[in-house]
Amino acid sequence: MIDGRLLTELWEFFKAHADKKQIDVLAEKYLDIMADYGVEDDAFKEALGSDEDLDKAINYYLDLDEQDEDY
């Protein structure tokens, strides 16, 4: 089972090896793939606060507004 911590660690690996111009697209695609493989919304919420780019993608994916960013 993938939790927020593992989700973040995997993201950090991919981000370190990615084209910086494509980070936003990569983050969104990463979340889509994780969701397709059964990662729960709670794991995405647990990952909030670990990385600004990942946070943006999570907020977009979960359709959270700024008030919900306090996780």
Q: What is the pLDDT of residues 29-69, one digit of tens each?
A: 999 999 999 999 999 999 999 999 999 999 999 998 755 44
Number of domain units in the chain = 1
- Distances in Å between the alpha carbon of 38 and those of 2, 5, 33, 56? 9, 16, 9, 20
Contact 57, 35 (CB under 8 A): no
Structure-token pair, residue 9: 């660690």
> What gap in Å lies between CA 39 and CA 62, rounded to an integer?
13
pTM reported for the whole predicted model: 0.85
Question: Which residues does 44 contact at the CB level (< 8 Å), separation at least 6?
Answer: 4, 7, 31, 34, 58, 61, 62
Domain, as residue range, for 9: 4-70
Query: Quick one: pLDDT band at residue 70, thresholds 50, 70, 90?
Result: low
